[in-house]
């Protein structure tokens, strides 16, 4: 008896959002998408019952919060972390062919989706429990601890986090089936855009704890913000990477331009309809063929490693120095030595510009160079590997794409109408472009982090936001086209 037969009664009965029976009008899709987005913003402002007044503790995800969405101390404390971690596990198992599932088979597809939900629930538990019961990630209000007991309040907080983890899972599923795009992408856009706008326009007078780019420069011109003379090295540093944030602004604009340009770079394979003369088209193989979503998997893997390091630091008093040395800055434990330091990504210019002061000033140059090299290796190599996994598991590989072209009645002019022939042509482009695109996105993410971005959204978060927004625009344009011309749905699949 195989594992599929054993697990099928459980996996096929997992709660799921019902699929629409027919075509969902475009306006209704926009309505579902907007409604889920409003619900997401609402839940990120619902703080956990049991936290002390005015305190949410240290963020276990640290700088990874921009790409893992959610909100520290809220019911969406875990964000999309469990969903992404479950996807990593499934992609690794699928890449090693340990599952034996054919996603083209409806039965195996149902098992795959059920297994993903089970893994998400497991990851919610494995991530939520240490956040509540280990370290100072989520402190307990003293008055509630005295009244009900610390353990009771912590279990109550975990219950709220568990519900939030399930809510974001089904919110993502609602958008995937009834809305436009994907929930994960929408939540990333929402979180990064919020921080990006704050980084540009936030004003301390409005209650924020930091000042945005434009208010800072207004203060510089009016004299309320003190800076060193621009004729001195320290003054130049203040303008570029200090309060002036000129380098961060240039990097942010440059990343926008590079990603939009890269999305337009493509190899177009000509197609013609086998039965309709004059009906022609093109299949585009983009430079960033696998999109930038595999970067979430790489960064989530790094986030889980750093989370493990913070857990060990808080619970293991005698942790050896070669494994990790930590210092607390702003309520968050950051590695300053050992294995976890070298595995930590570069977040900002202060992490590697040892000559400009900041956190890097306490490290030896060779240590910083090793850390930068490790980060580059993980992002470039990991980006290529996870891009390949992403293409194969989302039916974007040569074989699956050839079947889709064949089923639509299209063929490559000058070649025999056969899925095998189309697959051989696609194999000339898709695997190579997938690896190159994944490595390029990893290189851009590290470069943006090293130079800094407005609002400290991180290079990966900015890349994801620009690319996902671009693809969302394309999907909306396609939905409008099919709404205007219903016959197009028969070509693309209703």
Concatenating the DSSP letter of every residue in 7-58 gives HHHHHTTS--PPPPSSPPPHHHHHHHHHHHHHHHHHHTT-BPTTSPTT----
The answer, yes or no, to whether residue 151 has pLDDT greater than 70, is yes
pLDDT tens-digit series, residues 275-291: 666 667 788 888 888 87
Whether the CB-CB separation of 169 and 78 falls below 8 Å is answered with no
C-alpha to C-alpha distance for 222 and 216, rounded to whole angstroms: 10
The answer, yes or no, to whether residue 96 has pLDDT greater than 70, is no
pLDDT tens-digit series, residues 296-319: 888 888 888 888 888 888 788 778
Instruction: Give CA separation, 18 vs 33, 100, 200, 479, in Å.
Output: 16, 26, 41, 21
Q: Which domains does the chain have, with CATH numbers?
A: 3-14+25-179 (1.10.3370.10), 265-452 (no CATH)
Considering only residues 84 and 164, tell me which one the structure prediction assigns the higher pLDDT: 164
Query: Do strands 325-329 and 280-286 pair parallel, antiparallel, or not at all (unpaired)?
Result: unpaired
Per mean pLDDT, which range of 22-36, 192-206, 271-285, 464-478 is the poorest?
Answer: 271-285
What is the percent of the chain where pLDDT is above 90?
Answer: 13
Grade residue 169 by pLDDT with cuts at 50, 70 and 90: very high
pLDDT tens-digit series, residues 31-62: 999 999 999 999 988 899 988 877 777 777 77
pLDDT tens-digit series, residues 16-31: 888 888 778 888 888 9
Grade residue 492 by pLDDT with cuts at 50, 70 and 90: very low
Which residue bears the tokens 């090299």? 373
- Look at residues 60, 177, 176 and name the one whose alpha carbon lies nearest to residue 128: 60
pLDDT tens-digit series, residues 330-376: 667 788 888 999 999 888 888 888 877 667 778 888 999 999 999 99
Residue 397 phi/psi, 5-degree rounding, is -75, 170
Predicted confidence at residue 331, as pLDDT, reads 62
The answer, yes or no, to whether residue 207 has pLDDT greater than 60, is no
Instruction: Give CA separation, 47 vs 35, 43, 50, 157, in Å.
Output: 20, 8, 9, 10
The answer, yes or no, to whether residue 410 has pLDDT greater than 80, is no
DSSP 8-state symbol, 104: T
pLDDT tens-digit series, residues 69-82: 888 889 999 988 88
Angle at 104 between CA 270 and CA 390, to 5 degrees: 70
The answer, yes or no, to whether residue 324 has pLDDT greater than 90, is no
pLDDT tens-digit series, residues 102-130: 766 777 778 888 888 999 999 999 989 98
Residue 267 gets the label, from left (phi > 0), alpha (psi -120 to 50) or beta, of beta
Predicted confidence at residue 205, as pLDDT, reads 58
CB atoms within 10 A of CB 315: 12
Structure tokens at 216: 């800072």
| Arithmetic mean of pLDDT over the chain | 83
pLDDT tens-digit series, residues 376-409: 999 999 888 888 888 887 778 888 888 888 877 7
Grade residue 1 by pLDDT with cuts at 50, 70 and 90: low
């Amino acid at each position: 008896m195989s594992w599929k037969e054993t697990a099928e009664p459980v996996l096929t009965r997992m709660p799921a959002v019902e699929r629409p029976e027919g075509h969902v009008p475009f306006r209704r899709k926009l309505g579902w998408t907007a409604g889920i987005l409003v619900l997401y913003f609402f839940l990120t402002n619902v703080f956990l019952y049991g936290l002390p007044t005015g305190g949410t503790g240290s963020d276990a995800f640290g700088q990874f919060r921009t790409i893992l969405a959610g909100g520290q101390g809220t019911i969406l404390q875990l964000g999309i972390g469990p969903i992404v971690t479950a996807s990593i596990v499934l992609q690794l198992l699928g890449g090693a062919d340990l599952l034996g599932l054919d996603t083209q088979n409806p039965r195996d597809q149902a098992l795959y989706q059920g297994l993903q939900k089970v893994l998400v629930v497991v990851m919610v538990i494995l991530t939520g429990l240490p956040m509540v019961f280990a370290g100072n990630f989520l402190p307990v209000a003293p008055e509630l601890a005295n009244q009900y007991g610390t353990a009771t309040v912590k279990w109550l907080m975990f219950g709220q986090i568990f519900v939030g983890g399930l809510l974001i899972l089904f919110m993502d599923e609602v958008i995937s089936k009834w809305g436009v795009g994907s929930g994960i992408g929408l939540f990333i856009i929402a979180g990064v855009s919020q921080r990006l706008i704050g980084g540009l326009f936030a004003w301390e007078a409005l209650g924020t704890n930091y000042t945005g780019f434009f208010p800072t420069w207004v203060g510089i011109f009016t004299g309320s913000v003190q800076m060193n003379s621009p004729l001195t090295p320290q003054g130049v540093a203040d303008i570029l990477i200090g309060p002036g944030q000129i380098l961060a602004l240039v990097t942010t604009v440059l990343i926008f331009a590079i990603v939009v340009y890269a999305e337009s770079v493509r190899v177009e394979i000509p197609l013609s309809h086998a039965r309709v003369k004059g009906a022609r088209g093109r299949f585009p193989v983009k430079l960033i063929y696998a999109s930038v979503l595999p970067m979430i998997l790489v960064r989530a893997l790094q986030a889980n490693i750093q989370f493990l390091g913070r857990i060990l630091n808080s619970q293991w008093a005698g942790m050896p120095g070669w494994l990790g040395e930590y210092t607390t800055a702003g309520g968050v434990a950051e590695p300053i030595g050992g294995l976890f330091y070298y595995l930590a990504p570069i977040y900002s210019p202060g992490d590697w510009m040892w000559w400009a002061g900041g956190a890097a000033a306490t490290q030896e140059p060779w240590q910083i160079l090793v850390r930068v090299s490790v980060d580059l290796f993980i992002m470039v190599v990991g980006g290529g590997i996870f891009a390949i996994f992403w293409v194969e598991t989302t039916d974007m590989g040569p074989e699956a794409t050839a079947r889709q072209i064949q089923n639509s009645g299209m063929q490559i002019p000058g070649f025999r109408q056969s899925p095998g022939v189309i697959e051989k042509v696609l194999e000339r482009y898709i695997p190579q472009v997938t690896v190159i695109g994944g490595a390029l996105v990893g290189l851009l993410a590290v470069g943006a982090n090293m130079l800094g971005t407005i609002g400290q959204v991180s290079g990966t978060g900015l890349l994801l936001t620009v690319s996902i927004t671009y693809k969302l625009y394309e999907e909306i344009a396609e939905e409008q086209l099919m709404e205007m011309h219903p016959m197009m749905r028969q070509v693309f699949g209703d």
